[in-house]
Structures are given as structure tokens and as C-alpha cells.
Amino acid sequence: MTSIPATGHAASAPRKPLYRQLYVQVLTAIVLGGLLGWLSPELAKNEWIKAMGDGFVKLIKMAIAPIIFCTVVSGISHIQDAKKVGRVGIKALFYFEVISTFALVIGLLVGNFVQPGVGFAGKPDAAAVAGFAKQAGEMKSIDFVMHIIPDTVVGAFSTGDILQVLFFAVLFGFALMALGERGHTLRSTIDDVAHAMFGVIAIIMKAAPIGAFGAMAFTIGRYGPQALGNLLGLIATFYMTAALFIIVVLGSVARIAGFSIFKFIAYIKDELLIVLGTSSSESALPQLMEKLERLGCSKSVVGLVVPTGYSFNLDGTNIYMTLATLFIAQAMGVHLSGWEQFVILGVAMLTSKGASGITGAGFITLAATLSAVRPELVPGMAIVFGIDKFMSECRALTNLTGNGVAAVVVSWWEGELDRSKLDAGLNKQVDPSDLETAVTTG
């Protein structure tokens, strides 16, 4: 019989005042930042304003590598059966590929139905995307595989490469598992370090409103509010397609697993707003992992699925690639046959994995896809170059939601989802934003 967690104290405790809720603070900061960028663009473009957003993202990235290492090592080393790790990994990869295919197909279907690029009168500038096209051309599958192996262990942590840290953590976790009782002290130490690192995140998150304000002010100040209107049709189509994917595809998967996608989105609203403000899905990674564990997901599953999903489960990026490819082809008057669109699915499935961890990954993967299918479309990337900043926010929001759902589903698939915690979290019987309490009592 599964013991019910002691949530009575948290449930009976008074909720925080509205002004102390993190999502309210971040949402207010986003609005104020947008107003500053609109009303005083010169001030908003100040390097100190930009540093607010960049600094917050750097603070989060500073803690990602040790958190992933400790979480993965702890999850694996506490498992008695080594086969379970492989089983969870296979289930996660299978899930990723199925859901990613749905994302790619939905992007194609919407692009063919809405045809947002038809009648576009602008002229693309090939020079604007030359760097991205060159970088995409240099991407090879063997380079991606070799890049997973770090040159040194210290190097993996110093660069903050998620895949490299994950690779070493898996090896270290298996080695610690093999030590048996001799590794008990080290396992306990790693668990304590993980709790301490989540305490660091709890401190950093207090600066989230400042980071969101700076990032949004600089973005609007630099690109101007008119940037949202230049290609409003494509932006609106992309956001609606992503919403359709989340509600229909992820919603159906969530229903099968026994929970509501809308309640889940409400549960992670803090993380979604942080991503919206910073345009970086990594900025919410540590807090997402911690909240998923409190939602009843297995610690070992969260440690394996979420970091891996950041490289292999990019639902938002997949939707963007197929939709943007059709938009560019339509804008340039190039007809893509049914077979070429089928090839796009296969190529995009590969390129979306190959550019993980690269700055501007969505744009680079688009260049790689176009280069492989119809190279003459690459210059057309300049059409969407100016609004990619606003597209990247939707990509990040969709990716974050998809990876959160994946962790819950794989935990349920493994039979390690604590339903009492899941119901308490989604029904707001506990305060999901109280990260500090969870750290001190966890």
C-alpha cells in the first residue's frame, strides 16, 4: 500500500498573498518590460537592461549541470535493477519519437491548410542567414554522436553541455550502483548536494521578475512592437498550432495517463511565465524537475526523462520546422510535392536532434532541413529571421510543456506515479510555487 505524503500541513497553511506569488510577479514584470520597450526604446536597449535578462539566465545555467548530475546519479544509484534504467530510457525515447512525429505532422497539416506564406511580397536577404546556413551545413550525425562524449569530465561541467553531463552522470550512476553498500555514504552525500542545489535555485528564483523585465524590455526596445505586426499571420498560425498540439495531442496523452492537461499547465504556470519572459526553456529546467518530483513522478524517471527530453523531445521546434519550411516555400512561390514534404518529416526528425544545445537551435535546424530538402529555399530564411525571437518563445513554451508531460507519462507507464501527490498537486491542495518549503522539508 502506498503511503500518503504528509501534505496536511502544506494544505492547511494559508496561501501566499497574490503579490507574493511568483507567477504574478513575473507576469507583472513582463508587462512593465514591454511598456518600457515600447515607450522608451533607447532606454530599454541599454546594456544594463539587457544584462538583467542575460544575468538571470546565466544564474540558472550555472546550477543546471550539478543539478542534472546529482539527480541522475541519485536516481540510478538507488535502483537495484540495472535493467530498469535501460527500460525507462527505451520507453522515453519511444515516447519522444512518437510525439515528435505528431508535432511534425501537425505543422505540415496546418501549413498546407492555412497557407500563411501565399501572397507574401517581401524579398529575402541571403546575407542575413549566411552564418546559420553555414553552421547547419557543418552539422553531421557523427559529429553529434562524438559531441556527446566530453573531452574531460571537468569540461562537460564547465561548458554546461546537458548531453555531456547526462552521459557522464549515467556512467557514474551505474558505477555507484555497482558499489552496493560501500557506496551508501557517497549516495547520501550526492542527495544532500542535490537538496542544496535546489536551495540555490530557490534563492535565484527570487530574481526571476527582474530577469523577465530586462529580457522583455530589451526585446521590444530592439525589435519594436511593429516586429509583431510584420508577419503577424505566421506568428499567429504558429502559436495556434502549438496550442492545438498541446490541447489535442498532449491533452489526449494526459487523459490516457489519468490527468488533465489544463490542470498540469496551471501547475507549471510559474515555469511557463519564466520561459516567456526569458525566451529560454533552460531557465525553468531545475525548478520543473523539482516540481515534477513533488507531483508524484519517480525521481529516477525525472532525472532521466527531463534532461534527455531537452535534446530529443523538442515538440515546439518540430512544429516550427515544418510550418516555417512550408511558409518559406509558399512565400517564394516554390511548390513542394507530397514526397518532398514526406522527406521533410524524416530530415527534420534528425536535424532537430543534431542541433540540441546550440544557441539559436531552432533557426539552425531550419537551415539544416532546408539545405537537405530544397537548398534554394535557404535564402528565404531571411523572411522569418526578424521575428524568430518571438517564434522562439513559443518553441520554448511548447518544449517545456512537452517534457513535463513526458515525465508524468513515463512515470505512469513505469507504475511509479504517486496518484495521491498527483491529485494533491493538480487540485491545488498544496502550494506548487513554494519551492523553499519543498527544499527544506524534502
252 or 299: which carries more pLDDT confidence?
Answer: 252
| Spatial separation of the C-alpha atoms in residues 273 and 212, rounded to whole Å | 9
| Tens of pLDDT, residues 259-271 | 999 999 999 988 8
The percentage of the chain sitting over the pLDDT mark of 70, rounded to a whole number, equals: 77
Residue pointed to by grid coordinates 562524449: 149
The secondary structure element, H or E, covering residue 177 is helix 162-179
Of the candidates 341, 386, 405, the residue with the CA atom closest to the CA atom of residue 128: 386
The answer to whether residue 441 scores a pLDDT higher than 60 is no
116 vs 381 pLDDT, higher one = 116
Give the mean model confidence (pLDDT) for residues 324-340: 83
Q: What angle do CA 203, 205, 208 make, to 5 degrees?
A: 140
Q: Would you state the cell numbers that stand for residue 272, as one nine-digit string?
A: 511557463
Q: What is residue 357's DSSP assignment?
A: T
**Do the Cβ atoms of 249 and 106 come closer than 8 Å?**
yes
Other residues' Cβ atoms within 10 Å of the Cβ of residue 141: 11
pLDDT category of residue 385 using cuts at 50, 70 and 90: low
What average pLDDT is seen over the chain? 77
Whole-angstrom Cα distance, residue 224 to residue 226? 5
- Taking each helix axis as running N to C, give the angle between helix 130-137 and helix 361-373, from 0 to 180 degrees, rounded to the nearest 10: 70
Render pLDDT for 5-63 as a digit per residue (tens, 0 to 9): 434 433 444 566 776 777 788 888 888 988 898 888 888 888 888 888 888 878 877 87
Q: For the segment 114-160, what is each residue's pLDDT rounded down to a tens digit?
A: 888 776 554 444 444 455 455 545 555 566 577 778 888 888 888 77
Amino acid at 130: A
Closest CA to 221 of 383, 28, 32: 32
In whole angstroms, give the CA distance from residue 15 to residue 434.
Answer: 10
Q: pLDDT tier at 396 (50, 70, 90 boundaries)? A: confident
Distance CA 384, CA 363 (A): 9
Helix (H) or strand (E) holding 410: helix 388-413
Helix pair 338-354, 315-331: axis angle to 10 deg: 140
CB 410 within 8 A of CB 358: no
Please state, as a whole number, how many other Cβ atoms lie within 10 Å of the Cβ of residue 121. Answer: 5
Say whether domain 8-441 belongs to CATH 3.90.1150.10: no
Number of Cβ within a 10 Å radius of residue 251: 18
